Amino acid sequence: MDDEVLVDLAGNDYLGLSRHPAVIEGAVAAARVWGAGSTGSRLVTGSTRLHAELEDALAAFMGFEAGLVFASGYAANLGALTSLAGRGDLVVSDERNHASIVDACRLSRAEIAIVPHRDVAAVAAALAGRAYRRAIVATDSVFSADGDLAPLPELHAVARAHGALLLVDEAHGLGVVGDGGRGALAAVGLAGAPDVVATATLSKSLGSQGGIVLGPAAVRDHLIDTARTFIFDTGLAPAAAGAAQAALRLLLADPGMASRARTRAAQLAAIAGAPQPAAAVVPVIVGEPERAVAAAAACRAHGVAVGCFRPPTVPQGTSRLRLSARADLTDADVDLFARALAAALGEPRAAGPAGAVAEERA
């Protein structure tokens, strides 16, 4: 972030930990012990004691039996879905899932059923109306451009009724949703269920980078033998693992960070006239892309960086400013945002429904 930005509402540093001294020191200490890079895949030279400790700590924190760290959240989704589904299988995917799930569906070679957003009945119909060997229901927990929550209990009930696995991407849930930020699955009592697998990124609330797949130990063992993004990709850099572990320790020591992030998100939404958010993502729909670009530039001119989402990332007519709340925002930061947004839009905001995310369909 450049020196002209006083308040960052564009990045996904939901807990404000990416620049925390303890997180930086965690990265530095790991680099001093294990070097700047992993030098090879996890099965060759890319696994250290630090990676194993991080996997165990995140699994315990989020309520799962085991975890497996990947070089990115994108790689975690690719590795999980392509290892758990293949020809003869079915993946039922929400139409607004993140691009990493979309790409994973394509690479899996399974049959893909794209269902309307948060439509549990459509998921049930897709599972009931096809012949398949195995099935997976895949969804984000918090959708990245709209900020709304997936109906996880209902999806799990439908998946279980049809013998399907529920795979949930907790990228925007970890650190923000649930008790102490343990995620949306933990919040509804599904973490650790035998037919649930979660993925998450270390690059948002934990202020580092990397990804993880969480689930039963048998799933972890299967991924080690079959996930191409684990077997053939260079392992996560030790510094990133050290930073993520330090961030997790901070979150454990101060679980109120999660609720502070949600409180700040609610304040930003109220100022913008946007629907109250479920997590830290606040979409402010402005309509046409030219207006969104101009509004984002005007906010930046006032010292506030905001995300600017426009087609093809979102559908025509739903271009938006995408705000990322942070636990460490101050009242002065929020006030500056209010002034910047008023100057950028030049009119009062009224609450309205968030638009759909138009990722490329699987």
Q: What is the DSSP string of 145-159?
A: TT-PBP-HHHHHHHH
Give the per-residue pLDDT at 4: 79
Among 154-168, 197-211, 345-359, the range scoring the smallest mean pLDDT is 345-359
How would residue 351 be classed by pLDDT, with cut points 50, 70 and 90? very low
- What percentage of the chain carries pLDDT values higher than 90? 92
How would residue 1 be classed by pLDDT, with cut points 50, 70 and 90? low
Token pair in block for residue 256: 């109120």
- CB-neighbour burial class of residue 232 (10 A; exposed 0-12, middle 13-18, buried 19+): exposed
Cα–Cα distance measured from residue 28 to residue 162, given in angstroms and rounded to the nearest whole number: 48
pTM: 0.94
Amino acid letter at 137? V
Cis peptide, bond prior to residue 194, ω within 30 of zero = no
Token pair in block for residue 242: 């050290």
Give the per-residue pLDDT at 347: 59
Give the per-residue pLDDT at 2: 59
Given a cut of 70, is residue 146 above it in pLDDT?
A: yes
Token pair in block for residue 268: 């930003």
Given a cut of 70, is residue 142 above it in pLDDT?
A: yes
Residue among 191, 260, 258, 242 at smallest CA distance from 51: 242
CA dihedral 70, 71, 77, 83 (to 10 degrees): -50
Given a cut of 60, is residue 349 above it in pLDDT?
A: no
Give the per-residue pLDDT at 346: 83
Mean pLDDT of the chain: 94
Given a cut of 50, is residue 350 above it in pLDDT?
A: no
Cα–Cα distance measured from residue 261 to residue 281, given in angstroms and rounded to the nearest whole number: 10
Give the per-residue pLDDT at 362: 41
Residue among 42, 84, 86 at smallest CA distance from 215: 84
Give the per-residue pLDDT at 7: 97
Domains and CATH numbers, the chain: 7-17+255-345 (3.90.1150.10), 21-253 (3.40.640.10)
- CA distances to 147, 155, 170, 336 from 164, rounded to whole Å, are 26, 10, 19, 48
Which residue has 């696994």 as its token pair? 47
Token pair in block for residue 340: 């910047």
Given a cut of 80, is residue 348 above it in pLDDT?
A: no
Q: Point out which residues pair with 168 in neighbouring strands.
A: 139, 198
Q: What is the mean pLDDT of the segment spanning 201-209?
A: 98
Assess contact for 276 and 91: CB atoms under 8 A. no
Cα–Cα distance measured from residue 279 to residue 234, given in angstroms and rounded to the nearest whole number: 32
Contacts of 8 (CB under 8 A, 6+ apart): 1, 305, 324, 326
Cα–Cα distance measured from residue 248 to residue 257, given in angstroms and rounded to the nearest whole number: 11
Among 205-209, 290-294, 313-317, the range scoring the smallest mean pLDDT is 313-317
